[in-house]
Structure 1
Amino acid sequence: MSFQRVPGLVSVVITVYNKLPYLAECLNSLLDQTYGSWELILVDDASTDGSYEFVMNWLNGNEPLLREGKGIYAIRLPRNAGYAGAITAGMYLAKGEYIAIQDADDLSHPERLARQVRYLKNNPHLELLGTNYEVFEDGHPERRMPVYWLKYGEQIGKVYAAGGHCICHGTAMFRGTVFDRIGGHTRRIEGAEDYEFIAKIIHAGAKNVDNLREVLYYHRKHQKQRSRNYFGKSQKEQGHDA
């Protein structure tokens, strides 16, 4: 029996590894989405700071959503699989026509899912769509700063062909059939799993991705970001993705 995706459904995949201080704001930003047809798949990558326990309590506190049929699932991996393993596990569980990525320490604009779905519906040739975003220091969400490294339209394929990066991974929404066709993230380039995944999609067609110019995502700067383990100062802080 072939796998059938649910039309119009957005499967939001979040991976969590020791992100306890940021989870409430992240999850609440998803509850505020104006787009109604979404499910949340949260994969805890064997956190040790109480992140998983917090999520379970959060789910219990939002029980009415579950009664309304909203799919919110929390999975705890039995051991740490790393970012590529955790996010790919979540994508295997996603049943939506669209899959959206959300970083556990960032926030989404209430219109994010609605506007990305609308754009993908109106542009059937696109397989992945990112958005513009702003950066803020932890504790100061009101002081958001713009970024200038993103590209749009045909410029995107040229950047990736030259080995560059110009789509913020946390903003990405792509068609579930893309995952069915090429799979998810790999461990081939440690610390740059996000770059490799997007580049893999673009390789299949240089004009099949785009960015929305609207700011629909907010990236939080803090000392425990995963990218700091590989690049020191976060690339998003320097005007590049993390």
Structure 2
Amino acid sequence: MSFQRVPGLVSIVITVYNKLPYLTDCLTSLLNQTYPSWELILIDDASTDGSYEKVMNWLNNNEPLLREGKGIYTLRLPRNTGYAGAITAGMYLAKGEFIAIQDADDLSHPERLARQVLYLNNNPQIDLLGTNYEVFEDGKPDSRKAVHWLKYGDQIGKVYTKGGHCICHGTAMFRGAVFDRIGGHTRRIEGAEDYEFIAKVIKPGARNVDNLREVLYYYRKHQNQRSRNYFGNSNRDHGYDT
């Protein structure tokens, strides 16, 4: 029997590895989405700091979600697989027409899902859609800074052709059919699995990816984030003014 995706449903995939301090803020930002049709798939990659227990407590405290028919699915992996393994496991569980990525230490604007779904419905040629975003230091959510490295429209494909990167992975929403066609993330480029996945989605010679210019995502900077292991503390990585 062929797999049937649910029309209009957004499957939000979150991977968690030792993100205890940030989970409540992240999950609350999703609880506040104005778009009504979504499911949450949370993959805990063998956390050791109590993150999984924190998630389960949050779900217990937000039980009305379940009564509203929201699908909330958690999977605790028996051992740490790394980011590529965890997020791909989540994508395999996703049944939505659309799959949205959300990093466990970041926040989404309440209109994020609604704006992305609207754009994808109005632009059937687009397979993957990011958004503009702002950066804030941990503990200072009201002091956000703009970024300047994103590209839009035809410029995106040109950047990736040259080995560049101009879509924030945490903001991405893509059609579930894309995953069914090309699969998920791989371990081929450690630390740049996000770049490789987006580059794999892009069709040469076609404009099938884009970014919304609206700020619909908030990226938290903190000492324990995964990207610092690969790119250090340089503000240049997010292209915002210091």
Please classify the TM superposition score into its range, dividing by the shorter chain length. Answer: over 0.9
How do residues 53-132 of structure 1 correspond to structure 2 at under 5 angstroms? 53-132=53-132
Q: Hey, what does 2:165 align to over in structure 1?
A: 165
Q: Does 1:138 align with 2:138?
A: yes
1:202 partner amino acid: I
Q: Hey, what does 1:25 align to over in structure 2?
A: 25
For residues 234 and 64 of structure 1, the distance between their equivalents in structure 2, rounded to whole angstroms, comes to: 42
SS of the residue aligned with 1:131?
A: strand
For residues 190 and 203 of structure 1, the distance between their equivalents in structure 2, rounded to whole angstroms, comes to: 23
8 Å CA contact 2:18–2:49 kept in 1: the answer is yes
Deviation at 1:233, TM superposition (A): 1.7
Deviation at 1:64, TM superposition (A): 1.1
1:3 partner amino acid: F
- TM-score, normalised to structure 2, is 0.97
The number of aligned residues is 240
8 Å CA contact 1:13–1:91 kept in 2: the answer is yes
Moved more, 57-66 or 10-19: 57-66
2:114 partner amino acid: A
Deviation at 1:89, TM superposition (A): 0.0
Q: What stretches of structure 1 of length at least 5 have no aligned partner?
A: none
8 Å CA contact 1:227–1:235 kept in 2: the answer is no
Moved more, 37-46 or 58-67: 58-67
Q: Hey, what does 1:148 align to over in structure 2?
A: 148
1:70 partner amino acid: K
For residues 101 and 113 of structure 1, the distance between their equivalents in structure 2, rounded to whole angstroms, comes to: 11
8 Å CA contact 1:135–1:237 kept in 2: the answer is no
For residues 128 and 5 of structure 2, the distance between their equivalents in structure 1, rounded to whole angstroms, comes to: 17
SS of the residue aligned with 2:121?
A: helix
For residues 38 and 109 of structure 1, the distance between their equivalents in structure 2, rounded to whole angstroms, comes to: 15
**Percent identical residues:** 83
Q: Hey, what does 2:207 align to over in structure 1?
A: 207
1:113 partner amino acid: L
- TM-score, normalised to structure 1, is 0.97
SS of the residue aligned with 1:105?
A: coil
SS of the residue aligned with 1:72?
A: strand
Deviation at 1:204, TM superposition (A): 5.3
8 Å CA contact 1:225–1:234 kept in 2: the answer is no
SS of the residue aligned with 2:202?
A: helix
